[in-house]
Structure 1
Amino acid sequence: TWKKPNSNFKFPKTLTFSSKEDKEESGRRLFYVSLTRAKRHLYISWPLSGHGKRPPEPSPYVSELLEILGLENAEPKQVPIEVLKGMMESMHQEIPEIKVEDLPKETIDFLLKDFRLSASALNTYIRCPLSFYFDHVLKIPSRSSAAASFGTAMHRALYRMYLPINDDQKILPLDSVINVFEEEMTKMRGFFEDHIYESRMELGKENLELFYNDNKDNLPKNILLEHKIYNAELDGVPLGGDIDRVDLKSSTEAYIFDYKTVKPRSEKLKKADDKVPYGGDYWRQLQFYKILFDAQFPNKTVSRSAILYLGKNAKGELQESTVALDKESQDKVKGWVKEVYQNIKDHNFYAGCEDSDCNWCEFSRQTNFNQS
């Protein structure tokens, strides 16, 4: 266990950090989870010598643990080489396969009776069919994270900010927008560690003020907020979803926007090609939103779609990323929509993605390991 992070180690893709405190806390939680996986004995080790000028030190998390246990001054125990060899050999056990017991066909059909394919469901299935099964068929509830709660508070503040436009052609005053954000954060206080709550509160207010000042002089005249579409179809495939914001530019033209509270991530916007056959998540999402919108408003043209980031880029600015809605991209996503929906109807969702960072694949492996 090293104090300085190993450059070969990468955090799971699902962990994103908006501050140094977030990353440190996530590392601490990861360390805690690792400790709790021990069944009989727990061994914590770090090297006493290395190639540097100074001897290696244990990580801060190990130091904290030793201090809590009153062992900060204890001499580390030297482990005989024979014991180390035995420990290494025991680690090379066969990795359990990803396997989930099929539910009766009638049960799955009942659970899918009112199913409508959304952008989230499409992205989940493409990433991992097994995750789709747990999240969208069984609908296993999960506790909201600090990041998700922060995102909800930011979305609600922006919803209220633009709400007066259609009636008064103006937006909510900045101090009122900030108040909405603070109220929403207070409601979800229990999902945050103390220091993370304070840092997210300040970050949210700072970014909302920046967004407000960037957009207050360029307001749409007609707008649809958190627009729900649940009566759409594509060649018999039932579709549904919520679009964060639709600016109605005229009787025949519309812009589509989706808010993201994370920092800009270029890989999420990649267009489908040979290297990224399904494209990035955000790219697919906006393509899907156009399909959804076209089904409800066949006489309107979506001439622009973009991700509006509420997290600053490297220059300390808020950024927006436009996604081209060309025919080639639309045809690809329409094909995936029909293909994925047919796979869902055929109950083809028991295969995992095999990604070591996938929670549901790991859950399946662990379940099979315990049963064996």
Structure 2
Amino acid sequence: MRLSYSALETFKRCPLKFKFQYIDRIKTPKSKEAIFGTLIHNTLKILHEPGLTIPTEEEILKYLADNWDASIYASEQESVMAFSQAVKMLKDYYAKNYPGQFNVVALETPFEVPLMAGSDLHIITGKIDRIDKTPDNLFEVIDYKTTKKMPAQEIVDKDLQLSVYHLGIANRWPSISQEKRPIKMSLYYLKHGEKLSSWRTPEHLENTKETVIKSVEGIARAHKEEKFSATPNPLCDWCEYQRPCPFFKHKFVEEKLFFNDQDVKALINQYATIKKEIDEKDDRLSEIKETLNKFMDQEGMESLFGDDGYLVRSVIQRFKYDADLLRQILEPLGRWPDVLKVDDAKLKKVAKELPRDSRAKIEEARKLNKEYKTFLLKRDKGKK
């Protein structure tokens, strides 16, 4: 199987989007955010390309202006605002990162990482924005980000993208691993003018391989079972596959939909109204319970009487058993297996620490026990 890091990340976030994009290959227009990011990346590539002269700030901004596509924005005002943001990003970057002070080894470098999962060979591909050689003879990988949010350092330290890039570098230049040289991995957040760095060592390589292989096996399993589930996540509002997605396709139906002669949209509105009333009543009920509990504790009462009936308070207790003692009692009677139950949360935690073959066997032992459907009411952005 040949997969890019982007494909791995897409499957992790939403398997159905992975299917639409990488299996069905449904073509969609590039988003304005993606076009914006590509132009910024191309501009920075030109800035750092080796040459007899270093591009001036004016030349860089001219390249931006010459390649700007205002038609992708909803209005002229939106285009002007986005262009101003791009100019600010590049000016701030140029002021802090004059090209002459860096030893750039490679730009837009493609890589491939062969990984074996059992008898299956998988190739992980990607492209690294920039690779520098630092004054202390180490390599630094730099990936540009045009996103608005900047993550915490601990997230950068665990970032899988950087770890996969580390695999790519180690495969491209094996001597780095052989000499046990660490690699500096950096994410440059252009909107904030901040570079967040983390280190990867040869010891990290095996852990990264295990993580990636586990992801690839998940994709292979989804292929085999033909099950790519839609997974709601914070990026759904910007997803280009909303129309075929079961969570959004009703949004694009123009005619009224009826079920058993009932207007579906009217039912949704009724559901939202009733749900709001229930939530408000639940909040009030919690307040009343808290007040009555305090009163009953204070007065030493366990029942309270009103005009329409009376309220009786009861205490519900849950106990934990000493597992060893319980086993000593039940095992001789042949009843110990009857009370054992697999704890799903604990099993997942233990499985993470097991060898890949053992994890695969545990996965094969998993059977669907029950399934139920529930509703989650979400408000449209901009609506109250």
Specify the TM-score bucket, using the shorter chain as the normaliser: 0.5 to 0.7
SS at match of 2:174: coil
Structure 2 length normalisation: TM-score?
A: 0.55
1:162 pairs with one of 19, 43, 48: 48
Q: Does structure 1 retain, via aligned residues, the 8 Å contact 2:104–2:130?
A: no
The 3 A distance-change label for structure 1 pair 310 and 240 is same
The 5 Å alignment of 1:212-251 reads 212-216=94-98, 219-229=101-111, 231-235=112-116, 236-249=121-134
Aligned residue identity for 1:245: R
More strand by share: 2
Identity of aligned residues (%): 21
Structure 2 partner of 1:322 = 197
Task: Name stretches of at least 5 consecutive residues in structure 1 with no aligned partner.
Answer: 1-114, 273-278, 313-317
Structure 2 partner of 1:207 = 89
Structure ranking higher on relative contact order (CA contacts 8 Å, 6+ apart): 1
CA distance in 2, matches of 1:252, 1:234: 28
1:343 pairs with one of 200, 209, 218: 218
Q: Does structure 1 retain, via aligned residues, the 8 Å contact 2:166–2:183?
A: no
The 3 A distance-change label for structure 1 pair 331 and 352 is farther
The 5 Å alignment of 1:132-147 reads 132-147=18-33
CA distance in 2, matches of 1:249, 1:184: 32
CA distance in 1, matches of 2:152, 2:27: 28
CA distance in 2, matches of 1:153, 1:341: 31
The 3 A distance-change label for structure 1 pair 141 and 198 is same
SS at match of 1:306: strand
Q: Does structure 2 retain, via aligned residues, the 8 Å contact 1:118–1:239?
A: yes
Aligned residue identity for 2:63: V
Deviation at 1:228, TM superposition (A): 1.3
The 3 A distance-change label for structure 1 pair 237 and 252 is farther
Structure 2 partner of 1:295 = 171
Task: Name stretches of at least 5 consecutive residues in structure 2 with no aligned partner.
Answer: 260-384
SS at match of 1:117: strand
The answer to whether 1:126 aligns with 2:12 is yes
Structure 2 partner of 1:190 = 71
2:184 pairs with one of 286, 298, 304: 304
CA distance in 1, matches of 2:213, 2:60: 41
Q: Does structure 2 retain, via aligned residues, the 8 Å contact 1:224–1:248?
A: no
Aligned residue identity for 1:119: Y
The answer to whether 1:152 aligns with 2:34 is no
CA distance in 2, matches of 1:268, 1:125: 24
CA distance in 1, matches of 2:21, 2:48: 32
Give CA deviations for 1:118-152 in whole Å, capped at 9, x if unaligned: 22111111112222111222222222222222111
The answer to whether 1:179 aligns with 2:56 is no
The 3 A distance-change label for structure 1 pair 131 and 217 is closer
The 3 A distance-change label for structure 1 pair 341 and 250 is farther
Deviation at 1:184, TM superposition (A): 1.9
CA distance in 1, matches of 2:209, 2:77: 44
Give CA deviations for 1:218-273 in whole Å, capped at 9, x if unaligned: 622242111112x431233201111111113489731101001123421596168x
Q: Does structure 2 retain, via aligned residues, the 8 Å contact 1:232–1:238?
A: yes
CA distance in 2, matches of 1:249, 1:356: 37
Query: RMSD value over aligned CA atoms?
Result: 3.1
CA distance in 2, matches of 1:244, 1:184: 20
Deviation at 1:345, TM superposition (A): 2.8
Structure 2 partner of 1:286 = 162
Deviation at 1:330, TM superposition (A): 4.1
SS at match of 2:37: helix
Aligned residue identity for 2:212: V
CA distance in 2, matches of 1:339, 1:298: 24
Q: Which of 298-307 and 149-158 deviates more?
A: 298-307
Structure 1 partner of 2:231 = 353
The 5 Å alignment of 1:38-49 reads none
The 3 A distance-change label for structure 1 pair 321 and 288 is same
Higher-Rg member (1/2) = 2
Q: Does structure 1 retain, via aligned residues, the 8 Å contact 2:48–2:99?
A: no
Deviation at 1:319, TM superposition (A): 0.5
The 3 A distance-change label for structure 1 pair 310 and 251 is closer
SS at match of 1:243: strand
CA distance in 2, matches of 1:125, 1:345: 11
CA distance in 2, matches of 1:154, 1:269: 27
Q: Does structure 1 retain, via aligned residues, the 8 Å contact 2:114–2:123?
A: yes
Task: Work out the number of aligned pairs and report it.
Answer: 238
Give CA deviations for 1:175-205 in whole Å, capped at 9, x if unaligned: 11111111221xx322112111111111211
